[in-house]
Amino acid sequence: MGEKKRKEASTKNWKKIFVGIFIAFICVMFAVGMIISGMGTGWISSFATVKPGDVVVIDYTVRDERGNPLLTSNQQVYTQSAAAGNWLLGSKQLTVTADQALTRPLFPVQVITPDRQEWRQFAILASEYNTISSGIIGMKVNEQKKINLGTISPITDFISTDQMEKIKLNLTNVGVGETIVLPISEYPDREMSNSSAVEYLRIMQVVDKTPEGVTLSYNIPTVDVSIVSINKR
């Protein structure tokens, strides 16, 4: 009789332990569910990668051949560079459709000039936009990447001294290797902007200089991108 009671007591204890574990498990799962619910669906996006057709918001920084920032939407980069006395354009974040080619010659983005502190339209060329658009495939939110734009076919233009006078650019103040910002039309590889064309700012580098004028390169060497958000279609 004593042995039977001990077995019954042991069985009751195991039942209590099992019930306690089960209740604890339910409580933990409930707490996890509450945490996930409070997080919303944002945590899921941290695992998502950019796929063709996604609408992606990016922070970007255009840099010259020496790695100096020329144009950025990154507030930290802008603040640090401005504090050091360096000249650069500030920009809003860029929204691109991943792996989708641009159907027009350029993609306008809003930038703020450091001298006049006014918003203007800056021209990202179609070839550059397409390289960025395809280069972000497979990236995740907050991931950073340097995209090389220097492999794109060179785009240059010769500006005569007469043309320089029209855009108020002094030949004597321009040196080879210098980076300047000039207005261009929607077809920068064919003509400089004129009074009837819509003007877009463009960062250029002086690659040659003669008494007759200067040769400018439109190419941007590299751009640093960081994924801000991925919006699935």
Q: In this structure, are 97 and 167 located in the same domain?
A: no
Question: Which residues make beta-bridge pairs with 145?
Answer: 225
pLDDT at 164 over 90: no
Q: In this structure, are 77 and 144 located in the same domain?
A: yes
What's the domain count of the chain?
3
Domain interval for residue 9: 2-40
- Residue-level pLDDT at 193: 44
- Residue-level pLDDT at 12: 58
Tokens of 33: 């569910």
Q: In this structure, are 168 and 138 located in the same domain?
A: no
Q: In this structure, are 142 and 160 located in the same domain?
A: no
Quick one: 84 exposed, middle or buried, by C-beta within 10 A (0-12, 13-18, 19+)? Answer: exposed
* Average pLDDT estimate for 125-147: 95
Lowest mean pLDDT among 121-125, 141-145, 178-182: 178-182
Q: In this structure, are 69 and 19 located in the same domain?
A: no
Q: In this structure, are 140 and 202 located in the same domain?
A: no
Q: In this structure, are 97 and 145 located in the same domain?
A: yes
Q: In this structure, are 9 and 87 located in the same domain?
A: no
Q: In this structure, are 134 and 112 located in the same domain?
A: yes
Q: Which of 44-58, 65-79, 173-187 has the highest mean pLDDT?
A: 65-79
Is residue 167 situated within a structural domain? Answer: yes
**pLDDT tens sequence across 186-212:** 754 444 444 456 789 998 889 999 999
**pLDDT tens sequence across 209-232:** 999 999 998 888 999 999 999 998
pLDDT at 9 over 70: no
* Average pLDDT estimate for 45-65: 89
Lowest mean pLDDT among 80-89, 152-161, 218-227: 152-161
Is residue 123 situated within a structural domain? Answer: yes
Quick one: 29 exposed, middle or buried, by C-beta within 10 A (0-12, 13-18, 19+)? Answer: exposed
pTM above 0.75, yes or no: no
Is residue 49 situated within a structural domain? Answer: no
Q: In this structure, are 97 and 187 located in the same domain?
A: no
Q: In this structure, are 31 and 70 located in the same domain?
A: no
Average pLDDT, the chain: 81
